[in-house]
Chain A
Amino acid sequence: MARSYRHAVAALAVVTALTLAGCSGGNSASTSGSSSAGGTVVVDTAFSLETADPGRNYVPTGNMVLHAIYDTLLTFQGTDSTTPQPDLATMEQNADATEFTFTITDGRTFSDGSPVTADDVVFSLQRVAGITDSKANFLMTGITVTKVDDKTVKLTTATPSLQLPAIVTNPSLSILNSKVVKEHGGTTDDSDAAKSWLDANSAGSGPYTLQSLDLTQQVVMVKNDKYDGADKAGYDKVVVRNVSQSSTQLTNLQGGDSNVAVDLSGDQVKSLGSGFTVDSAASAETLFLLINQDKNVGGVTATPAFAEAVRYALDYDKLLELTGSGSVAATGVIPPMFPGANTTGVTQDLAKSKAALAASGYNGEEVKLQFPNDTPVGGVEFTPLAERVQEQLKAAGINVTLAPAPFATEVQPYVKAQEAFSLWFWGPDYADSSSFLPFGPGQKVGLRAGWTADAAPDIAAMVTSATDATSVDARNSAFRDFAQAMQESGPFVPLVVPGINLASSDTVAGLEYNVTWTLDLRSLHAK
């Protein structure tokens, strides 16, 4: 009996070996992570990816992927985030900044060879506006889209909207091949059913097309042979993989399993020796302290004087030590890369802090600092940053108790304006300074600090000026006034703008950080 078992096992082993030796279907042998010209480039990043349907996307990895597959009306070139440039179309606006006319560049085609028309633009934008539960829906709020002729589309707003050119660069507002998408269930209302098709296929005019999408593992894109724009594909294939741990991204890059790592910390990129390229830049996120001005919430700390005491008590350079390469000290609520940002930040002034503290009526009470402890931003962990703040404030006579909690728990009291003193972050909805106006009195973030328009009517007027401006110069001037006033008397203390560290092997060129799509896959090419 035992002999027959042994024979059976041996036979099975032989059959298996023969099967494997003889089989040749499926994959062929290849080198992972090769990045030769025209080959494959492998990018590791921690996925925040929910769909490849532009109309439903509003997460970072989605932006990165969709920017490679789809064109938008306008775009940002390279690392710039201030001046939208023509992509599929050129733009003209009226003097009131309420009408924006886009003319599609001649000769632009989708990946199936059909021309890009005004109907495609109207369908794509109206689709985003019509899918009510889409995360990107808010981008189209207040914008009306009309076709002028086959090559021209007009976007209209009721009030001046100088941020509109920046908004239409967002990959969520990509232009889709309307005929193809409609064939697969696409509509411009909530009945739209094209998501599942768009998660497996693409209908864009960008340099790459979608080959496969696995939300947990990887996205594979291949070169669009019909692409006729300016950003020619640098590779035949781009693979974006989900690698959640930055330590694994680092090991993969060093071991040759990947070519690009997106989420490395400042310390990790320092450990990369020769043979690698690093691009460290300030992100568009701002980490800030919130000091609630509502007496019912903040009690003794709910005063502008206490906010000033905190502002001047901190040593911002020492805080920056915790945040790694690419990070910069915050100069205000608007990050440095956007128009209107302050050129210099606050410097520590303990005498001024103590004077303000005395004026505030604070008398050594314990102050609770609330913050999310599971959501690092740009590699910056909140707990050590909060500890450093606690230590510096103690030296200035302010007693702080740390109160960390998971993001999902902590965000509720934050948005409901129930936190007296907290550490939070803010990033732009789109690459424009207007994304930071919510810090103003009576605005979304301002109200979270119990700061009403009545509390600071001058600054509230600056918000209105920036919103209503009809010329870029006037708008930028209003942003500057706003940023300066916020830094002097707002209930927020901006701390740092965390860095972002992109790294690649030396075989890859074109590593560029962009505020909206993080890594520009279009610019990658083999050296």
Chain B
Amino acid sequence: MSTAVRGRGAQHTLLRFLARRAVTSIILLFGIVLVTFSLTVIVPGDPVRAALGEGASSNPATVAAFREKYGLDQPVWIRFFRYVGNLLHGDLGTSMTTGRPISADLAKAVPATAEIALYAVIVSFAVAVVLGTLAAYRRGKVTDEVIRVVTLVGLSVPTFWMAILTYQLFFMQLHWVSGSGRISPTLTPPPTVTGFYTIDYMLNGDSVGFFDAVGHLALPVLVLSLFTIATLTRFVRTSVLEVLDMDYARAARAKGLSGRRVVVGYVLRGAALPILTLVGIAFGSLLSGTVLVEAVFAWPGLGTYAYNASKNLDLLAVTGVGLIVGVIYLVINLVVDVLYGVLDPRVRLS
């Protein structure tokens, strides 16, 4: 079989795979919408009263107009199908709290969280691979014990407490990092391109803004990384230990290859698949689970938005958050699956 034919075959396989995943994803997304929407319907409490407050909800005209504006005067099934119909046009509805399109709110909140989550995953991955591999190679020795204890501490310390502690130490006492929020109050946010302030400032050629944004990112990324590093390190250690016992790893060492080549070329490559899965899950968790860290660092991200939406019974906003988190997980799973194929030819063939 020629290389060109093999290439076309692989391309078709990949396209079929992606098509299958797309269909599955659409079904899953519909399920997510159905479940999230249903939960917002059955949750006790009156969203109109929550949104309008005591004074305005005493005014029947305002209550009626508000219900009509947000479609709350319609039966549930009409609201649901109207919502799904709007979704097909990319319309997530209007927030009852902000009065703005939910897609516009999420377009600001998601990049804010994604920025800390992405940097946290990169830092965590880099540190965890080094520490986990080191711990595996030094199994049972002092280095291994120290790393295991440190990661245990990382797992045990509540993130919220760690956030407050590090903020007081590194900002208030030592002045090593910037204060809360994404940038200093005297600065202007960059023109939005990616929604990542660091990248957008760079694209705008604004060095002051870039370094200020980095200064504000440092602590949230550090705090989120500590927990993720702890989880990943222990997992990398286990995976590397498994590979080290494999015949091909032993053979590589027996052939006299340098330790670095054995680690990079054989051990980590062999351990990459499970690690990749966990990194994907960790990224998803960081995107959807940063509420407390965002609260401490006044970070206007997805967690803060979700919390406020839930507290205010902003039903469509809650559904929008559920949907976006679902999409994020689906995309991450898809990327991980594709990377599986890239890293392991056997996956591609199957």
* A residues with CB within 8 A of B: 16, 19-34, 40, 42, 44, 50-51, 56, 58-59, 132-139, 141, 190, 195, 212, 214-218, 220, 237, 239, 241-245, 247-248, 251-252, 254-255, 257-258, 374, 406-409, 411-412, 415, 427, 429, 444
C-alpha spacing A254/B313, complex, angstroms:
35
Among B221-229, B240-248, B294-302, B335-343, the one that faces the other chain is: B294-302
* B residues with CB within 8 A of A: 43-46, 49-50, 52-56, 58-59, 61-62, 64-66, 68-69, 97-100, 105, 108-109, 164, 167-168, 171-172, 175, 178-182, 184-190, 201-202, 204-212, 295-298, 300, 304-305, 311-313
C-alpha spacing A509/B156, complex, angstroms:
44
Residue from the set A51, A135, A220 with the largest chain B CB neighbour count within 10 Å: A135
User: What residues on A are CB-neighbors of B44 within 8 Å?
Assistant: 408-409, 412
One of A25, A132, A218 near B61 (C-beta < 8 A): A132
Question: Cβ of A28 and Cβ of B185 under 8 Å apart?
Answer: no
C-alpha spacing A248/B204, complex, angstroms:
30
Question: Cβ of A23 and Cβ of B207 under 8 Å apart?
Answer: yes
Closest Cβ neighbor of B212 among chain A residues: A27
Question: Cβ of B305 and Cβ of A216 under 8 Å apart?
Answer: yes
Pairs across A and B, CB under 8 Å, 19 listed: A19-B202, A23-B204, A25-B205, A30-B186, A30-B187, A58-B55, A132-B62, A132-B65, A133-B65, A133-B66, A133-B69, A134-B62, A195-B99, A217-B300, A244-B295, A255-B179, A406-B45, A408-B44, A444-B58
Closest Cβ neighbor of A56 among chain B residues: B99
One of A25, A215, A220 near B204 (C-beta < 8 A): A25
Given contacts A138-B62, A251-B171, contact A411 B49 (CB under 8 A): yes
User: What residues on B are CB-neighbors of A257 within 8 Å?
Assistant: 171, 178-180, 184-185
Question: Cβ of B62 and Cβ of A33 under 8 Å apart?
Answer: no
Question: Cβ of A408 and Cβ of B50 under 8 Å apart?
Answer: yes
Residue from the set A27, A135, A137 with the largest chain B CB neighbour count within 10 Å: A27
User: What residues on B are CB-neighbors of A137 within 8 Å?
Assistant: 56, 59, 61-62
C-alpha spacing A42/B49, complex, angstroms:
33
Question: Cβ of A245 and Cβ of B99 under 8 Å apart?
Answer: no
Least CB distance from A197 to B in Å reads: 13
Question: Cβ of B168 and Cβ of A251 under 8 Å apart?
Answer: yes
C-alpha spacing A215/B64, complex, angstroms:
26
Top 5 closest pairs, chain A to chain B, by CB: A26-B206, A257-B179, A23-B205, A216-B300, A133-B65
Question: Cβ of A415 and Cβ of B49 under 8 Å apart?
Answer: yes
Least CB distance from A200 to B in Å reads: 12
Given contacts A133-B62, A255-B175, A257-B171, contact A26 B53 (CB under 8 A): no
User: What residues on A are CB-neighbors of B181 within 8 Å?
Assistant: 217-218, 241, 243
Question: Cβ of A245 and Cβ of B298 under 8 Å apart?
Answer: yes
Given contacts A25-B205, A133-B69, A135-B52, contact A248 B300 (CB under 8 A): no
C-alpha spacing A448/B289, complex, angstroms:
39
Give the A-B pair count, Cβ closer than 8 A. Answer: 183
C-alpha spacing A136/B98, complex, angstroms:
15
Question: Cβ of B164 and Cβ of A26 under 8 Å apart?
Answer: no
Question: Cβ of A135 and Cβ of B298 under 8 Å apart?
Answer: no
C-alpha spacing A42/B178, complex, angstroms:
15
Question: Cβ of A20 and Cβ of B185 under 8 Å apart?
Answer: no
Least CB distance from B261 to A in Å reads: 11
A-B contacts besides A134-B56, A444-B58, 4 pairs, CB < 8 Å: A25-B206, A133-B69, A217-B300, A429-B55
Given contacts A19-B202, A26-B201, A409-B45, contact A242 B298 (CB under 8 A): yes
C-alpha spacing A98/B189, complex, angstroms:
50
Question: Cβ of B45 and Cβ of A412 under 8 Å apart?
Answer: yes
Question: Cβ of B180 and Cβ of A411 under 8 Å apart?
Answer: no
C-alpha spacing A109/B265, complex, angstroms:
75
One of B50, B187, B298 near A243 (C-beta < 8 A): B298
C-alpha spacing A243/B216, complex, angstroms:
14
C-alpha spacing A444/B49, complex, angstroms:
14
Closest Cβ neighbor of A427 among chain B residues: B54
Question: Cβ of B172 and Cβ of A251 under 8 Å apart?
Answer: yes
C-alpha spacing A447/B313, complex, angstroms:
25
Question: Cβ of A50 and Cβ of B98 under 8 Å apart?
Answer: yes
C-alpha spacing A212/B52, complex, angstroms:
25
User: What residues on B are CB-neighbors of A217 within 8 Å?
Assistant: 181-182, 300
User: What residues on B are CB-neighbors of A220 within 8 Å?
Assistant: 185
Closest Cβ neighbor of A242 among chain B residues: B298
Least CB distance from A438 to B in Å reads: 9
User: What residues on B are CB-neighbors of A255 within 8 Å?
Assistant: 171-172, 175, 179
Least CB distance from B101 to A in Å reads: 11
Least CB distance from B43 to A in Å reads: 8
Closest Cβ neighbor of B50 among chain A residues: A408
Question: Cβ of A243 and Cβ of B49 under 8 Å apart?
Answer: no
C-alpha spacing A304/B62, complex, angstroms:
36
Question: Cβ of A32 and Cβ of B185 under 8 Å apart?
Answer: yes
One of A23, A24, A408 near B313 (C-beta < 8 A): A408
Least CB distance from A522 to B in Å reads: 19
C-alpha spacing A237/B189, complex, angstroms:
16
Given contacts A32-B179, A135-B53, A244-B304, contact A239 B205 (CB under 8 A): no
User: What residues on A are CB-neighbors of B295 within 8 Å?
Assistant: 244-245, 248
User: What residues on B are CB-neighbors of A34 within 8 Å?
Assistant: 186
User: What residues on B are CB-neighbors of A218 within 8 Å?
Assistant: 181, 185
C-alpha spacing A237/B188, complex, angstroms:
13
Question: Cβ of A40 and Cβ of B311 under 8 Å apart?
Answer: no
User: What residues on B are CB-neighbors of A27 within 8 Å?
Assistant: 186-188, 206, 208-209, 212
Given contacts A135-B56, A138-B62, contact A40 B186 (CB under 8 A): yes
Least CB distance from B201 to A in Å reads: 7
Given contacts A32-B186, A137-B59, A241-B185, contact A216 B205 (CB under 8 A): no
User: What residues on A are CB-neighbors of B98 within 8 Å?
Assistant: 50-51, 215
Given contacts A138-B62, A242-B298, A408-B311, contact A51 B207 (CB under 8 A): no
Question: Cβ of B311 and Cβ of A33 under 8 Å apart?
Answer: no
Question: Cβ of A252 and Cβ of B179 under 8 Å apart?
Answer: yes
C-alpha spacing A465/B298, complex, angstroms:
49
C-alpha spacing A212/B189, complex, angstroms:
10
User: What residues on A are CB-neighbors of B69 within 8 Å?
Assistant: 133
User: What residues on A are CB-neighbors of B59 within 8 Å?
Assistant: 137-138, 141
